[in-house]
Amino acid sequence: MNEAALLVNFLIVGGLLFVTGMVGFLVRRNLIVMFLSVEMMLQGISLSLIAWGRFHQDLGGQILVLFMIAVAAAEAGIALALILMLYFKSHTLDAAFWHDLREEGQPPFIDQGLPETRHEQPQWPRLTPAGIRPDVNQDEQLHRSQV
């Protein structure tokens, strides 16, 4: 395999994952979704670390990724506890809810109107009837001995 081309491929995929996570962090407002976007950025970083480790035939990249996984687990625990506490205080997961932590003199964040929703009935799948219709015993329909 051409190692330099392999490195370029993996670095680009890692960069795409990182940028996707960053866009998600900047765009979304749900606290949990924002946090998962940060995890996606970490995935992009670890992908490029592994690629560099392979390129230099060195295990340091993989060891750094192991430590990243440990730190990400610790971070997830703390962040979940914090998000749960924020939820108990505010009953919402909206990051915009906490905008009165803003600096003095800043205008408040005013939400835009919700877009129109199209209320469509979901199309549930229907099974076509098959086989022979069984005889219905009227006695059993009226008196159920065991329920």
Partner 1 sequence: MSALREQIAQWLPGHSLLVWALILGGLGLWLRVSLSDRPTNYLSRLLGGLSLVLLGFWLPRFGGWAEQAVFWVLAGVAVLTAGTAISTRSPVYMALWFAVSLLATAGLFLFQGAQFVGFATIVVYAGAIVVVFLFVLMLAQPEGLAPYDRVSWSWFAAPFGLVAGGILLCLLLLALLPAPTGESGMPNAGASQVPVESHHVARLGGELYARHLIAVEVAGTLLLVALVGAIAIVIHGRSSGASGEPRAGLRIRDPGSASGPWPRGSAP
Residues 30 to 69: which contact partner 1 by CB under 8 A? 30, 32-33, 35-37, 39-40, 43, 46-47, 50-51, 53-60, 62-63, 65-67, 69
Sequence-distant (≥ 6) Cβ neighbours of residue 34 within 8 angstroms: 24, 25, 28, 95
Region binding partner 1 by CB under 8 A among candidate stretches 13-21, 124-132, 136-144: 13-21
Q: How far is the CB of 124 from partner 1 (least distance, A)?
A: 17
Contact region for partner 1 (CB under 8 A) — 23-31, 121-129, 132-140?
A: 23-31
- Convert residues 116-135 into a mask of x (bound to partner 1 by CB under 8 A) and - (unbound): xxx-----------------
Which listed range, 19-27, 128-136, 138-146, lies at the site for partner 1 (CB under 8 A)?
19-27
Give, as ranges, the residues between 67 and 106 that touch partner 1 (CB under 8 A): 67, 69-78, 80-85, 87-97, 100
Question: What is the spatial distance between Cα 3 and Cα 133, in angstroms, rounded to a whole number?
Answer: 66
Spatial CA neighbour of 96 closest among 110, 80, 76, 114: 110
Q: Out of 38, 45, 103, 112, which residue is the one contacting partner 1 (CB under 8 A)?
A: 112
Tell me the C-alpha distance between 101 and 40, whole Å: 27
- By CB under 8 A, is residue 22 in contact with partner 1? yes
Closest distance of CB 17 from partner 1, Å: 6
Q: Which helix (H) or strand (E) holds 86?
A: helix 60-90
Inter-axis angle of helices 31-55 and 3-27, to 10 degrees? Answer: 170
Q: Would you give the DSSP letter of residue 96?
A: G
Q: Which two tokens stand for residue 83?
A: 């998000």
